[in-house]
Structure 1
Amino acid sequence: MKLASKTPEHGAGDVYRRLAGRVGSAKVVTATARDSRVFFYNAMRFGTLYEDAGEYLYDRRYLKRVLKQLPRRSGEFGFFLQEVKTQNVS
Structure 2
Amino acid sequence: MLKTAFRMAVQTAGKSNSALGTFYRRLRSRLGSPKAITATAHKIARIFYKLWTTGADYTAPGMDYYEQRYRERMVNNLHKKA
TM superposition score category, shorter chain reference: 0.7 to 0.9
Partner of 2:65: 57
Partner of 2:44: 36
Q: TM-score, normalising length from structure 2?
A: 0.72
Q: What is the CA distance between 1:8 and its match in structure 2?
A: 4.1
Residue type of the partner of 1:20? Answer: R
Structure 2, unaligned runs of 5 or more: 1-8
Structure possessing the higher radius of gyration over alpha carbons: 1
Q: Relative to structure 1, is the Cα distance of residues 46 and 2 closer, same or farther in structure 2, using a 3 angstrom cutoff?
A: closer
Structure 1, unaligned runs of 5 or more: 76-90
Give CA-to-partner distance per residue, 1:11-47, whole Å, 9 cap, x none. 1111111111222110111111122122122212211
Identity over aligned pairs, percent:
32
The list of structure 1 runs, each at least 4 consecutive aligned residues, that deviate by more than 3 angstroms after superposition, is: none
Q: TM-score, normalising length from structure 1?
A: 0.67
Q: Is the 8 A contact 1:5 1:32 kept in 2?
A: no
RMSD of aligned residue pairs (Cα, Å): 1.8
Quick one: which of 35, 46, 66 aligns to 1:27? 35
